């Protein structure tokens, strides 16, 4: 796409999507807009708002654990904290996260389309998201307080507790539909709206990852929807489905829950891998290594990831044969993930690496995701899992993959695409300072969890034995460093929105995908003329010197 | 002048019938998997409580069930006929068959209403003392019965609402012989409602 033939002439007179005046103006022009870019921004506002709530809850939990015994909250409140933290972070932040913000904004641009296939459905998904989020927050203020079951809503406790489980369940149910409809929209968009010449193997790798994710969203979400609905109805009408008092089988609930919720972690991580594949070639100034392997490994992860759910249940009662099969399949999922990591590293080899902020986050992603991924393989070994099940090790592993992986990739995407989305540049120096705070704080926060989990510290406890005190103390201090980093990062980003230097350059990083050939910020329907694609993405010519960018903005 | 306006309209209004159908099929997948979750639960409990499910199923009224199956299958036929009619530019005929479909759907729901109220009358409803005193297989069977036929009934009602909108669209000329993808998608949805019932019917009424 770098070829001169594909350079797109944009009309300098057309207003950007931010200034575009459609049927409605002002706030209505946003709330009723079907423009995929505006919807992406709407999602960003919602998702970040919930992220801050989730971080605050996490901060309080770490504060409670700073010393043994009751420090700031009771056991009951602590249970509600980790449930709400889980529900918010999983259903409201990390599942929609990258696809809803960056998928909405960039997927149509990356394939040379004017919008997604169903723009009105897209807006409807955002309203579903908002409704679900409101219900989750409503459970805090309603009498009874938020659910204290953990985000897994395990039976039978979830049909017995007096807290507002139904509200949390309905929130997750509605959010599931929001995510499902987004997936449906993306699949149709990729199939129907690619620009002329944009064959499957000319698609940018993030499009492949959004596409694979969308299939998981469409095929897995209905299972959690029906399962959570059944729990809600069982609570409401005492219908016998899962409650053992009525003859039901709690283990069956766990199966149905994980049939969705394991693939859901791939909904969370695959888009992040897409972002990484997008950023690495740009800042290494090298053609991506093993394009097809990266593309197909996304599909392979989606496929195998749907068949490993019972590794969450090795201690819940399962046949030996079942355990062996699920353990084996779990190991197999590690292969496509590793393929990606090797390809990224191979792309870096002999590249001329530019350590700009997005690249720093991506390199951190590779490091943290490798730790998270390898600890995941450890838990796939049945004998080790018996020891590690329900310990802080699991919490550490999960945060390494999800926060160190998806979270860092999302931060990378903010720093990478922000100049394109808003036409403003952040303070690069401050962004790097924030990165180091976040990276160091992150490891201080979560690495001790791996160690103390290995030594036997259970998860979800508000109290602990004195020998775990040093680890908890380090972890809590880490949480402060991390939060300072987050504050600096978001301060920097928000400040640049108001008073950052204006970016008029189309291609600020020297990227080779379509979004870098249109205006910053893009015009209402992205392209004045639909481009014709002739070359593969990420083609960097050897004789082409890397563009000096530090000076320009 | 007139050709110019035509071109202008084509540029601005994005129409993609294949895309619309693709989206609908994807949605139907999700519906199938939604019910699939409950079919899994059914098969597990059928396996663990074989004798009790066998006895509980005998309490259902096979005649009403059969009758409803015939009604729903016929309604799928009338739905197809309405689409064929619009393709052949017979708008009124299409409207008539859409109305017939709604009528059959409502007929189905009325039967369902009588079936459920009869059960309620005998004290068999979720959380009732009569039911809770039965063995667990019995409780699970009727729990699933109410859940699955109830959710299916909800889909019938949604279908009725959708077809009513289609009648309005057909009447106002939004659905026409050369732009009937909305009606076609509604038809697809209606067949899904039908096919789920075709599985529910033997599982609950016939295997006794």
Phi then psi dihedrals of residue A463, to 5 deg:
-130, 165
Residues in A closer than 8 angstroms to B33, CB to CB, are 219, 222-223
- The Cα A34–Cα A246 span in angstroms is 47
Contact A218 B29 (CB under 8 A): yes
Q: How many CB atoms lie within 10 A of CB A141?
A: 9
Min Cα separation A386/chain B (Å): 26
Class of residue A407 by CB neighbours under 10 A (exposed 0-12, middle 13-18, buried 19+): buried
Residues in B closer than 8 angstroms to A234, CB to CB, are 143
Q: Which residues of B touch A (CB under 8 A)?
A: 14, 16, 18-19, 22-23, 26-27, 29-31, 33-38, 40-41, 44-45, 48-49, 126-127, 132, 135-137, 139-140, 142-144, 146-147
State yes or no: pLDDT of B196 exceeds 90.
yes
Across residues B177-202, what is the average pLDDT? 95
In a domain, B12, yes or no: no
Q: Return the pLDDT at A78.
A: 95
Residues in B closer than 8 angstroms to A247, CB to CB, are 49, 135-137, 139-140
Q: Which residues of A touch B (CB under 8 A)?
A: 114-115, 117-118, 121, 180, 184-185, 187-188, 191-193, 218-219, 221-223, 225-227, 230, 233-234, 237-241, 246-249, 252, 256
Looking at the DSSP bridge assignments, the partners of residue A424 are A502
Contacts 24+ apart (CB under 8 A), A381-388: A381/A327, A382/A314, A382/A323, A382/A324, A382/A327, A385/A311, A385/A314, A385/A315, A386/A314, A386/A315, A388/A453, A388/A454
Q: How many CB atoms lie within 10 A of CB A200?
A: 11
In a domain, B1, yes or no: no
Q: Cβ contacts of residue A39 below 8 Å, gap of 6+?
A: A33, A104, A122, A123, A126
In a domain, B169, yes or no: yes
Contact A240 B19 (CB under 8 A): no
> In the numeric block, which tokens belong to residue B147?
């859940």
In a domain, B10, yes or no: no
In a domain, B9, yes or no: no
Min Cα separation B136/chain A (Å): 5
Query: Please, are residues A127 and A174 in contact by the beta-carbon 8 Å criterion?
Result: no
Of A438-447, A499-508, B93-102, B147-156, the least confident = A499-508
- Give, rounded to a whole angstrom, the gap between the first and last alpha carbons of chain A: 25
Residues in A closer than 8 angstroms to B182, CB to CB, are none
Helix A36-64 crosses helix A408-422 at what angle (to 10 degrees)? 140
Contact B19 A185 (CB under 8 A): no
Contact B14 A247 (CB under 8 A): no
Q: Return the pLDDT at A536.
A: 86
- The Cα A79–Cα A88 span in angstroms is 14
Half-sphere exposure of residue A288: CA atoms within 13 angstroms, side-chain side: 31
Query: What total number of domains does chain B contain?
Result: 1
- Residue A538, SS3? coil
Q: What residue of A is the nearest CA neighbor of B126?
A: A239
Q: Return the pLDDT at A12.
A: 57
B121: left (phi over 0), alpha (psi -120 to 50) or beta: alpha
**Burial track B98-117 (b if 16+ CB lie within 10 A, e otherwise):** bebbbebbebbeebbeebbe
CATH number of the domain residue B32 falls in: 1.20.120.80
Average pLDDT, chain B: 90
> In the numeric block, which tokens belong to residue B187?
């038809």
In a domain, B6, yes or no: no
* Location of structure tokens 């076609």: B184
- The Cα B199–Cα B191 span in angstroms is 13
- Give the pLDDT of chain A (553 residues) as one tens digit per residue: 333 334 444 445 678 888 887 778 888 889 999 999 999 999 999 999 999 999 999 999 999 999 999 999 999 999 999 999 999 999 999 999 999 999 999 999 999 999 999 999 999 999 999 999 999 999 888 888 899 999 999 999 999 898 999 999 999 999 999 999 999 999 999 999 999 999 999 999 999 999 999 999 999 999 999 999 999 999 998 888 999 988 899 999 999 999 999 999 999 999 999 999 999 999 999 999 999 999 999 999 999 999 999 999 999 988 999 999 999 999 999 999 999 999 999 999 988 899 999 999 999 999 999 999 999 999 999 999 999 999 999 999 999 999 999 999 999 999 999 999 999 999 999 999 999 999 999 999 999 999 999 999 999 999 999 999 999 999 999 999 999 999 999 999 999 999 999 998 889 998 889 999 998 899 988 998 889 998 888 888 654 555 554 444 4
- Within A232-340, strands assigned E span none
User: Could you confirm whether domain A22-517 is CATH 3.20.20.70?
Assistant: no
Q: Which domain holds residue B184?
A: 17-206
Q: Return the pLDDT at A450.
A: 97
User: What is the predicted ipTM?
Assistant: 0.89
- The Cα A481–Cα A486 span in angstroms is 9
In a domain, B114, yes or no: yes
Query: Please, are residues A373 and A401 in contact by the beta-carbon 8 Å criterion?
Result: yes
In a domain, B155, yes or no: yes
Share of chain B above pLDDT 70, in %: 94
Phi then psi dihedrals of residue A264, to 5 deg:
-60, -30
């Amino acid at each position: 796409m770098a070829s001169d033939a594909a350079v797109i002439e944009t009309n300098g007179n057309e207003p950007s999507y931010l200034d575009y005046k459609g049927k409605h103006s002002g706030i209505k022009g946003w709330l009723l807009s079907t423009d995929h870019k505006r919807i992406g921004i709407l999602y960003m506002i919602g998702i970040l708002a919930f992220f801050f709530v989730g971080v605050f809850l996490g901060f309080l939990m770490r504060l409670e654990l700073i010393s043994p015994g009751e420090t700031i909250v009771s056991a009951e409140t602590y249970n509600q904290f980790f449930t709400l933290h889980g529900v918010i972070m999983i259903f409201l932040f990390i599942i929609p996260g990258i696809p809803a913000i960056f998928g909405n904004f960039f997927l149509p641009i990356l394939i040379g389309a004017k919008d997604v296939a169903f723009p009105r459905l897209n807006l409807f998904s955002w309203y579903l998201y908002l409704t679900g989020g409101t219900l989750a927050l409503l459970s805090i203020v309603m009498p009874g307080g938020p659910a204290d079951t953990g985000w897994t809503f395990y039976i039978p406790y979830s049909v017995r507790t007096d807290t507002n489980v139904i509200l949390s369940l309905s929130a997750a149910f509605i959010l599931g539909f929001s995510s499902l409809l987004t997936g449906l929209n993306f699949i149709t968009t990729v199939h129907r709206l690619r620009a002329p010449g944009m064959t499957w193997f000319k698609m940018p790798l993030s499009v492949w990852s959004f596409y694979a994710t969308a299939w998981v969203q469409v095929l897995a979400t209905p299972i959690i929807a029906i399962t959570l609905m059944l729990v809600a109805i069982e609570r409401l009408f005492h219908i016998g489905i899962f409650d053992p008092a009525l003859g039901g089988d709690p283990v069956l609930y766990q199966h149905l829950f994980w049939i969705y919720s394991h693939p859901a972690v791939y909904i969370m991580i695959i888009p992040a891998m897409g972002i990484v594949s997008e950023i690495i070639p740009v800042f290494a100034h090298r053609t991506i290594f093993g394009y097809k392997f990266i593309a197909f490994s996304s599909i392979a992860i989606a496929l195998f990831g749907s068949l490993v759910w019972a590794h969450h249940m090795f201690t819940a009662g399962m046949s030996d044969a079942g355990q062996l099969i699920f353990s084996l399949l779990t190991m197999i999922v590690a292969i496509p993930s590793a393929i990606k990591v090797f390809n990224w590293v191979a792309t870096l080899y002999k590249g001329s690496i530019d350590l700009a902020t997005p690249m720093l986050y991506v390199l951190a992603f590779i490091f943290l995701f490798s730790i998270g991924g390898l600890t995941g393989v450890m838990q796939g070994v049945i004998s080790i899992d018996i020891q590690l099940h329900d310990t802080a090790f699991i919490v550490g592993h999960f945060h390494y993959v999800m926060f160190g992986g998806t979270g860092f990739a999302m931060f990378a995407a903010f720093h990478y695409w922000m100049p394109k989305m808003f036409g403003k540049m952040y303070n690069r120096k401050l962004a790097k300072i924030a990165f180091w705070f976040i990276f160091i704080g992150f490891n201080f926060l979560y690495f001790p969890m791996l160690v103390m989990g290995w030594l036997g510290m259970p998860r979800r406890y508000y109290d602990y034995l004195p020998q775990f005190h040093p680890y908890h103390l380090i972890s809590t201090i880490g949480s402060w460093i991390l939060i300072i980093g987050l504050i600096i990062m978001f301060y920097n980003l928000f400040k640049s929105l108001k008073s950052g230097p204006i970016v008029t350059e189309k291609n600020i990083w020297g990227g080779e995908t379509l979004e870098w050939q249109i205006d910053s910020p893009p015009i209402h329907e992205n392209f004045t003329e639909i481009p014709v694609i002739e070359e593969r993405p990420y083609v960097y010519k050897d004789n082409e010197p890397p563009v000096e960018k530090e000076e320009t903005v | 002048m007139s050709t110019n306006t035509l071109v202008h309209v084509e540029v601005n209004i994005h129409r993609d019938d294949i895309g619309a159908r693709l989206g609908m099929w994807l949605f139907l997948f999700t519906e199938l998997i939604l019910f699939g979750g409950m079919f899994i639960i059914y098969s597990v409990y059928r396996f663990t409580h074989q004798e009790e499910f066998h006895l509980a199923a005998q309490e259902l009224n096979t005649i009403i069930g059969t009758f409803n199956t015939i009604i729903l299958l016929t309604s799928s036929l009338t739905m197809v006929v309405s689409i064929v009619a619009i393709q052949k530019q017979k708008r009124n005929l299409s409207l008539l068959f859409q109305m017939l479909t709604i009528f059959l759907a409502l007929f189905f729901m009325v039967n369902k209403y009588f079936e459920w109220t009869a059960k309620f009358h005998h004290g068999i409803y979720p959380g009732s003392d009569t039911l809770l005193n039965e063995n667990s297989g019995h409780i699970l069977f009727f729990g699933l019965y109410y859940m699955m036929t109830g959710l299916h009934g909800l889909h019938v009602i949604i279908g009725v609402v959708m077809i009513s909108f289609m009648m309005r669209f057909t009447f106002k000329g939004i659905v026409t012989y050369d732009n009937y993808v909305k009606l076609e998608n509604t038809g697809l949805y209606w067949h899904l409602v039908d096919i789920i019932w075709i599985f529910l019917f033997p599982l609950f009424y016939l295997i006794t």
